[in-house]
Amino acid sequence: MVDDIVSEIKGEFESGGSWPYEVDGHRFRTNPFAEKWPDPSLFAGYEDELRRLRENIQRNVNTFITGPFGTGKTILTKTMYEVLTEVEEYEPVFVAVQKGRFSKTMAKRILDELGEPVDSTATSTELYDDVADALERRYEDGVRTVVFYDEVINGSEGTLRQILHLQRDVENWEPVLVFNGTAHMLDQIHGRIEPLSDRIGDEITLSGLDIDGVVELVNKRLRYYCRESEWGDGDGCSHDEGDLAPFTREAIELVHQDITPYPRHIRRECNEVIEAGARAERDVLDFEFVRATLAEETSRKLEQLSGHAADVVAVLDEQGPSTANGITEALEASSYHIQEALTELEKEGLIRATEGDRGIEYKLTEQTSRELSNLTQS
């Protein structure tokens, strides 16, 4: 009896609960949108930006990838990282900068990525000397190092200064640095470590996907996870020809229209919709089904908002698009709490940040506005 239950529970975990999901000749063993980043071949929507980053790396230009939360900054840099691992004359290093981690931890991380020994008793300065020596040896051997810093502003000021010194200390050549973070993070680097900001030669801004980029993202996910297609080498799978099954084109256009069209949000909403479709055993996820699912999900998010976030939504609903300063003045709240609330709402896909006449302006998504109206009427 117990063994049967354990086997059943294990099977549910392995299948994802409602999986496998079979739709019109396609068989998905797991949800194609559940994983954040299973394979670099799923990169979609920012081809021009990826080519521009490649040109900058070849020309030794330090680059800052910027954009709001969820726009795909980490995916773009991880894709380039994966590309460079396959190029003989390059050695990439990817460093996820975490809050509370200091320059000593960062140096150890870089040495680990380079496959170099780490002296646990060494000081921060000694560790960075080891990093500089390792990079110099690679340069002498004809290998160029590219260091990717993910969410770099999370590091301490000491970390940022060590990054600056790292470039200065490698004789004859500077390692190429690629940072990513929000525009707010870039402003902080300009204000706190001006010599480092002076070494950033290009800024690449990600602003969201157009409808063709969203369709490509969805199709690639479906192709990758459909067992019949085997990532483009299958026999007769329509995903190889651009099919979106079980979604209709109109359903994907609705997703693009109603939420902030950032890769993270697109993946998350498609994840919710296809899970609902698998539970309902639907063959087609059409416009009406997607609209109902998105409405239910948005309503749930709105009901669970924190106090400041709920207040921000109310202001945007009443006044329309507004800057962070405008919202702060309207609510007579601290700028810190308002920025935290805006971050929460952006991550949930309930608001959209756009460049306006007064700087960055925030507005409700179409889906959020519609659900607020429905909640008011009910």
Q: Distance (Å, rounded) from C-alpha 285 to C-alpha 259?
A: 17
Please state which CATH class domain 305-377 belongs to.
Answer: mainly alpha
146 strand-pairing partners: 92, 176
If you ran DSSP here, which 8-state letter would residue 323 be given?
A: E
- pLDDT the model gives residue 37: 76
123 strand-pairing partners: none
Given a contact cutoff of 8 angstroms between Cβ atoms, the answer to whether 166 and 195 are in contact is no
Domain residue ranges in the chain: 15-40+210-299, 46-205, 305-377
- pLDDT the model gives residue 258: 82
- pLDDT the model gives residue 311: 93
Q: Distance (Å, rounded) from C-alpha 233 to C-alpha 297?
A: 36
Q: Distance (Å, rounded) from C-alpha 78 to C-alpha 203?
A: 17
CB contact set of 1 (below 8 Å; sequence gap of 6+): none
- pLDDT the model gives residue 267: 92
Closest CA to 178 of 82, 38, 54, 48: 54
Look at residue 352 and give its three-state secondary structure: strand
Say which CATH topology domain 46-205 has: Rossmann fold (3.40.50)
* Under-70 pLDDT residues of the chain: 1-17, 97-103, 152-160, 162, 167-173, 184-185, 191-192, 194, 231-236, 356, 358-359, 378
Helices and strands (H and E) in the chain: how many: 16, 10
**Do 46-205 and 305-377 fold alike per CATH?**
no
Question: What are the DSSP calls for 128-163, one per residue?
Answer: HHHHHHHHHHHHHTT-EEEEEEETGGGS-HHHHHHH
